[in-house]
Structure 1
């Protein structure tokens, strides 16, 4: 009897409870709301407290309501052990919230709010949040009989006016059909051989030099909260220096901006650029210098082809400390950043369309970018087990 009693007491001890659940606290240090905030919780810290934790055995619960909270184990190196657990929440200004992480499977699958895909026929990469969609071009496009060969590493915007994920469906409709708005939005944006919205290149000998279409790709994560993929660009000549680029793109639920990291291989420093193509429809350009992040943005009418309508904003955002200059060069507005080979150059790229219901005028677009810059400068504070 005494042995049984001791065993029951051991099960009731605080240490035993710590093996079944752990508290994660997330705090918003800003006097600014954070809808669709993504908290990154170190997996190793959680695993140390929850021995039964696994990619298929993790659940997040709001203890105030006992409702499940959308989460995503993030295993970018595909070694079976995630680097982070992502928790999707909303935070009011200066709010702190607590969640309970359990080492059990979720009750059900979570509806994805992001997606990354490769279209095999065109050799495109496409990615989207529930707010906006994007695509860029691979070398296989040169071999597709239906299209003129396009040599371009530019970024295309697919403005949409639905919260649904549309990239798979639009590719199924076909090239001509997704250029016409049938109620969800359409590809009204022209890229051609330009940088488009947020393409990267090198400033060499007073000229913009860009890689050709991507040569290889891999999807590292695909929702429900975050999608991540990489593309490789083969070496190109930039002022007598051979430069290769690996680009990693990350997009989160609820966001108009995606994160891109360009890592260059070269013999010396690389004068990297990220930029926006000017549009012929009467575009307004603006910049805002921030303590942590500086943005460059355009705003103007959507190209009036195939029923194009509304106004479209595009933007790039770079760390203020790394920014060299912002300038209009030829057809582009460019932000320059001196890159060290092997060290990622980080920037954010965004777009917003009036028909989506998120922005109604140019002031809304500037305000959205100011808010995103503020959030990037003051990350969510995550505490485990306190």
Structure 2
């Protein structure tokens, strides 16, 4: 009798999601890009992955094999415009990401914006670094009225806008920051207004708003201003403000419409409120950088403010604010960047570090990351 022995070899099989598209992000500059929010055209992704399920895909760092935080950006359209990702890319190097089927992780919200009707029509926005607000119709004509952007300093990565409004004591530091910035009759932390006949022509406060995108990586909204008289020129404005995770600065895109028989550039200024005590000022017309390291306000610390213009400018300081003047054409967008930082957050502890940040930010605007989808 012959005995037959059958040996069964069990070979483990690893099942992994199949890559549907590959994104290459290249940094050709001499500086590292950290926590950069990058926009990849959704159309280019659809060209490679036309059957993508927007509720069932992940973005994977091909080197670490970990998921990458992402957001689908709509902007002014109901359709998806971009895939946003936040990544680090070292100088002179390339990063590869893959898009695969899968369940995305629950990402930490890093940006947030909202209309605040319970506080006289404020509109507030923040990210994991800093927070801002501007004023609405309900505050007009009161002794609280102000024309510029306000800064809410913070030293936490949490979203704090709602907590501060609920507490209703945001002029006191309860451990995560406060509002001690002074706007007054200035453009505050980088608002823009017409500059006609050597005078800043402030608008009234915004009267309408529209929230376009709201985190986790980018929040974008529009503020609509009613017509006002700018030294004999009737002007209306729409301001589209975008704040990315990790950034100290908001991107501001303004469109001015003005009443003129003949098309002409309208003089405009970006302004930063100046304090009576001495502070450190940078007016770099060549790079379009206007910056201010404020005098220290006792236990509240020091606020830093800065604006970066992308159009030719000349700059000066008057008694109440720093001003950067440029021009804008009728019904054509003008883009600049403006924001702030706080020394007690620990990231910027002196004027030199703040000025260097703005200089690097300016270089990054001029040297964007190179993106390809395969």
Q: TM-score, normalised by structure 2?
A: 0.90
Q: Tell me the equivalent position of 1:313.
A: 304
Aligned counterpart for 1:339 among listed residues 319, 328, 335: 328
- Match of 1:270? 266
Q: What's the Cα RMSD here?
A: 1.8
Q: Where do 4+ consecutive residues of structure 1 move more than 6 Å?
A: none
* CA drift at 1:157: 0.6
Residue pair 1:113, 1:223 contacting (<8 A) in 2 also: yes
What is the 5 A alignment of 1:87-98? 87-98=85-96
Q: For residues 103 and 161 of structure 2, what CA distance do their matches in structure 1 show?
A: 27
State which of 112, 115, 122 in structure 1 corresponds to 2:112.
115
Deviation at 1:379, TM superposition (A): 0.3
- The aligned counterpart of 1:4 is none
- TM superposition shift of 1:138: 0.5
Cα deviation, residue 323, structure 1: 2.0
Matched, 1:127 2:116: no
- How far apart are 1:232 and its partner, in Å? 0.6
Query: 2:288, 2:313 within 8 Å by CA — same for their partners in 1?
Result: no
Cα distance change, pair 96–242 in 1 and its aligned pair in 2 (3 A): same
Aligned residue for 1:163, secondary structure, equals coil
The 8 Å contact of residues 182 and 273 in structure 2, kept in 1 or not, is answered as no
Structure 1 window deviating more from structure 2 (215-224 vs 45-54): it is: 45-54
Q: What residue number does 2:279 align with?
A: 283
Deviation at 1:149, TM superposition (A): 4.8
Taking structure 1 as reference, are residues 371 and 173 closer, same or farther at Cα in structure 2, changes over 3 Å only?
same
Supply the distance in 1 between the matched residues of 2:204 and 2:165 (Cα, whole angstroms). Answer: 23
Q: Would the alpha carbon gap of residues 74 and 105 (structure 1) be closer, same or farther in structure 2, given more than 3 Å must change?
A: farther
CA contact (8 A) 1:55 1:82 kept: no
Task: Say whether residues 1:24 and 2:7 are aligned partners.
Answer: no
3-state SS of 1:236 partner: strand
1:265-300 deviation line (CA, Å, top 9, x unaligned): 11343111111011123222112344xx42011112
Match of 2:156 among 139, 162, 168: 162
Larger Rg over CA atoms: 2
Q: Kindly report which structure 2 residues correspond to 1:1-386, keeping only aligned pairs within 5 A, or say none.
A: 21-79=20-78, 81-102=79-100, 104=101, 106-122=103-119, 123-142=121-140, 148-174=142-168, 177-266=169-258, 267=260, 268=263, 269-290=265-286, 293-304=287-298, 308-319=299-310, 322-385=311-374
